[in-house]
Amino acid sequence: MDVTRDSFEEMDSLPDWFLLKRVSGLDFDPDDWAGLATERIGRFSRRERWLLRRSSAVFEDEWLLLVKMEFAGHVLLRLAVSEDERLASWLVENEGDLFEYRFRAALNKDKLEVMRFLFGKDKMLAIKDLEKVLGEENILKRFGLHTPSRVRHFRSGIEESSGYVAMHFTDVPDVIGSKRALLYKGWAIAPLFVFFGSIKRKFEALLREKIKRLQDRVAGEPALQEKLKVIRDKLRKIAKKYSSDFGFEPGEIPSGTSLFNRIDLMPPCMQELTMILSKKGHLEHGERFQLGLFLKRLGMSLEDQLRFWYDQAVDNIGLTYEEFTRKIGYVIRHLYGLEGSKIDYSPPKCKTIAESYFCTFAHKDPEEVEKTVLNMIKLRSGEEKNLKKYENFIAKIKSDTVSGKPTLACKTAFNLVLEKPLKHLSHPLQWFYQAAKKEGLLKEKNNKEK
Amino acid sequence: MEKTVNKEDLKKFYETIFDLKPLIKAIGLTDFERREFGFLLSEGVFSRNLSFKTLSDFKNFLIEKLPLQQFVGAVYDQGPTFLNPIQKLNWSYRELIFDVDLDSYDAVRRCDCRGSKQVCEDCWSLAQDAALFLDETLRTDFGFEDLIFVFSGRRGIHCWVRDSVAKELDSEQRSAIVSYLTMITDEKRSQKLEEIPKYAKTLRERVFQKIAKSFFLNVSKEDLTLLGFRPEDAEKVIDFIESKENFSPEDYYRIIPAHVDPKRISMAIVLGRYPRLDKPVTSDVRRLLRIPGSVHSATGKICTIIDSHKLEKFSPEDVPKVWDLI
């Protein structure tokens, strides 16, 4: 059985590692499916990232088999998660990270091919093509932009930077909103690496769409469902472990506790968003999404969340709660997968937050970061403390902030605020989980673990 | 006591004066029957999810109901109705909208104008600066071409971008555009300033050109002295700006004396004159906005389209009040 039927796009020039490319003839024996998928699941669960590069020692037929196995493993996972929104989110996130890793490592020409595929040939232009489209010359020179020198990472041989490109502004809202590109006649012009976040998001959106389209196919083929069950069960186990690493399983939150009200247990980004919201009565689209999903995963019900945003919003003056629920509730219901694309989104992880949402340590000046952290200490302890003893911690936080290591800075902040070291931090729920655990709020789970 | 528009005034206005052309100029006639309208029918009674098959139906509704305020929203796959509200419909498109309201400038307005209705020549120049800045940024940076500016009837300016690309933008894209244009957040309280952008060079140069020029034209020698200029330098700078027709970013760098902290000056320029846009108005794709050509019931002034070539000359004082017309 060819598992890739209608799954891939035809485009010969796309590189072999690009998993939205069409590869024909993935006619593996169904008995091999579990093995192919398990291999991939295992790598994701170990947070492994791997390249798909042909070495000169590999024969053509061996290489083709390798590529086919890679694609088959990937598409089997797509099929397996298609009926489970949460697993689908898990897969999209992992495949997104892998795509980003491979994209960064790719040759310049492959990067451009992938971008043309993702955004369309008319929405991504080399500067010389942009000049033709606009009928202008020397655009870079006119604005005093120079082609950045190529940076080589000698250890991996990865080419990190590859000159300027132009993306249509409608495709890169995050770059436009943060003013990270020159904007001219509707084109965002910047070195390619500036667009990495947008490229990854586009890949993830397309993958999500493809998974969604598989739903009907899988539902209509009981034999296929049966075959996929083994894979799905394995995935659930892994995803559950992954989920408990990063946040809560529903049973872990003791009933009757409203953990989502414990702002003092929240990581800096969420504390700040909560404060901005209560001060200004409004959050940006992405920030609303970030905070809303976080609160959802802390167990805030749809009704509580509607009430929360109604109480905080100043943009709905004169609306009754019922009117608000009817008119604005759409956005909140969307977070719970009840509207629009009906996706039960998971809260974004730290890396995604730093790239596209609001991260204290990625988006604020070191001086402001210092203030935020000191405020958090005050909020936890309820009093001004002798700040002298925190000097080293604060200096480390500020230095990591300046050097673009937001997660490290956040980890140190956890250590300082909660007075407890943290081994690993890659998701805001992890901060909350550990803080709640320290407070003894997750007793049930601790007992279970014992 | 300030005169307000009553139902009798509105009856005469809608029957004899109300002109549909400004509305048609803003939204066109295509898809009129699928467009949402909303009205403040009387104090505290707001009604939206309304649509009209024809322009005459729309005008008859106004004459019959005499709404105090009139608003227009987005286009949906069907005309919204009470039983078929916008929440149940698929959003089709909406012009890209920007709203400049002088109450966002209260923390920096130097005149005595405060509250809901007051505006003077001095503070109106802030709204003009914002409109001119918007006009150039939307055209040069985003490549939009079809823009109209509308006096809101009280103390603000609305900008409607009617290009087809603009109409189809989703909330995230609109939010990104308004973030690109924003350099001051929480403008009514803390007035937090962003750094002048380093990479968005067109925007950066416009700040040092348009906004800086306006700042120096509106600042006193004493103000400049407080910012660190020597009195003689302050005088020279003001004279230079007044004599310079085409002020460039290079001119800006030239006039800042070496001993003055350039960051302090650039922050004062942004704080004092940079446009302050109402972000939710732009981001919300279902937002209702005052209908061009309608009457603002609080002031009696007509919501008037401003000739984009005459933005600099336009004054709210010249806008007729409903009582002058009926």
Given an 8 Å threshold on Cβ–Cβ distance, is A176 in contact with B180?
A: yes
Query: pLDDT band at A288, cuts 50/70/90?
Result: confident
- pLDDT tens-digit map of B226-268: 999 999 999 999 999 999 888 999 999 899 999 999 999 999 9
Query: Cβ of A319 under 8 Å from any chain B Cβ?
Result: no
Q: Which residues of A touch B169 (CB under 8 A)?
A: 170
Residue B147 lies in a domain: no
Alpha-carbon span A268 to A369, nearest angstrom: 9
Mean pLDDT over the full length of chain A: 81
Query: Cβ of B202 under 8 Å from any chain A Cβ?
Result: yes
For an interface test with A, give the residue of B39, B41, B169, B179 to mutate (most A CBs within 10 A): B179
Residue B1 lies in a domain: no
Residue B180 lies in a domain: no
Residue B156 lies in a domain: no
Which pLDDT value is given to residue A4? 42
ipTM (interface predicted TM): 0.93
Residues B268 and B284 in one domain: no
* Residue A202 Cα distances to A38, A94, A159, A209, B246, angstroms: 26, 14, 22, 11, 43
Query: pLDDT band at A352, cuts 50/70/90?
Result: confident
Which pLDDT value is given to residue A447? 43
Number of domains within chain B = 2
Q: Which residues of A touch B284 (CB under 8 A)?
A: 315
Residue B116 to chain A, least CA–CA distance (Å): 16
Residues B237 and B301 in one domain: no
Domain boundary, last residue among B249, B273, B297: B273
Residues B12 and B84 in one domain: yes
In this prediction the pTM is: 0.76
Q: Give the CATH number for residue B38.
A: 3.90.920.10
Residue B17 lies in a domain: yes
Domain boundary, last residue among B273, B292, B311: B273
Tell me what the mean pLDDT of segment A390-400 comes to: 86
Query: Cβ of B2 under 8 Å from any chain A Cβ?
Result: no
- Per-position DSSP letters for A214-244, written without gaps between them: HHHHHHT-HHHHHHHHHHHHHHHHHHHHHHH
Query: pLDDT band at A160, cuts 50/70/90?
Result: very low
Query: pLDDT band at B273, cuts 50/70/90?
Result: very high
Given an 8 Å threshold on Cβ–Cβ distance, is B177 in contact with A145?
A: no
Long-range contacts of A31-39 (CB under 8 A, 24+ apart): A33/A3, A33/A72, A33/A76, A33/A227, A33/A228, A33/A230, A33/A231, A34/A230, A34/A231, A34/A234, A36/A69, A36/A72, A36/A73, A36/A76, A37/A73, A37/A76, A37/A77, A37/A80, A37/A231, A37/A234, A38/A231, A38/A234, A39/A69, A39/A73
Tell me what the mean pLDDT of segment B46-57 comes to: 95
Residues B13 and B92 in one domain: yes
Q: Which residues of B touch A326 (CB under 8 A)?
A: 85, 87
Range of weakest confidence among A18-32, A391-405, B277-291 = A18-32
Query: Cβ of A176 under 8 Å from any chain B Cβ?
Result: yes
Residues B313 and B287 in one domain: yes
Residues B256 and B204 in one domain: yes
Residues B262 and B285 in one domain: no
Which pLDDT value is given to residue B191? 78
- Is A11 a residue whose pLDDT tops 70? no
Establish, for the pair of chains A and B, how many residue pairs have beta carbons separated by less than 8 Å. Answer: 85
Q: Cβ distance A14 to A117 under 8 Å?
A: yes
Given an 8 Å threshold on Cβ–Cβ distance, is A145 in contact with B87?
A: no
Which pLDDT value is given to residue A147? 58
Give the structural domain span for B91.
Answer: 7-96+280-325
Residue B234 to chain A, least CA–CA distance (Å): 30
Residue A369 to chain B, least CA–CA distance (Å): 15
More confident residue, A174 or A355: A174
Residues B200 and B228 in one domain: yes
Residue B138 lies in a domain: no
Q: Which residues of B touch A282 (CB under 8 A)?
A: 279-280
- Is A327 a residue whose pLDDT tops 80? no
Q: Across the interface, which of A143, A174, A185 has its CB nearest the CB of B143? A: A185
Nearest chain A alpha carbon to B165: A170
Given an 8 Å threshold on Cβ–Cβ distance, is A179 in contact with B46?
A: no
Residue B74 lies in a domain: yes
3-state SS of B117-161?
CCCCHHHHHHHHHHHHHHHHHHHHCCCCCCEEEEECCCCEEEEEE
Residues B48 and B85 in one domain: yes
Given an 8 Å threshold on Cβ–Cβ distance, is A177 in contact with B143?
A: no
Query: Cβ of B186 under 8 Å from any chain A Cβ?
Result: yes
Which residues 247-276 on chain A approach chain B with CB closer than 8 angstroms? Answer: none
Query: Cβ of B85 under 8 Å from any chain A Cβ?
Result: yes
Residue B291 lies in a domain: yes
Which pLDDT value is given to residue A108? 87
Nearest chain A alpha carbon to B180: A177
Residues B249 and B290 in one domain: no
Residues B300 and B321 in one domain: yes
Given an 8 Å threshold on Cβ–Cβ distance, is A280 in contact with B186?
A: yes
For an interface test with B, give the residue of A183, A184, A277, A283 to mutate (most B CBs within 10 A): A183
- Is A345 a residue whose pLDDT tops 80? no
Alpha-carbon span B138 to B181, nearest angstrom: 9
Given an 8 Å threshold on Cβ–Cβ distance, is B141 in contact with A183?
A: yes
Cα dihedral A118→B166→B37→A328 (10° resolution): 50
**10 Å Cβ neighbour count for A202?**
18
Going by C-alpha positions, the residue among A437, A438, A444 that lies closest to residue A255 is A444
- Is A127 a residue whose pLDDT tops 70? yes
Which pLDDT value is given to residue A6? 42
Given an 8 Å threshold on Cβ–Cβ distance, is B172 in contact with A279?
A: no
- pLDDT tens-digit map of A205-235: 999 999 999 988 888 888 888 888 888 888 8
Residues B242 and B263 in one domain: yes
Given an 8 Å threshold on Cβ–Cβ distance, is A181 in contact with B283?
A: no
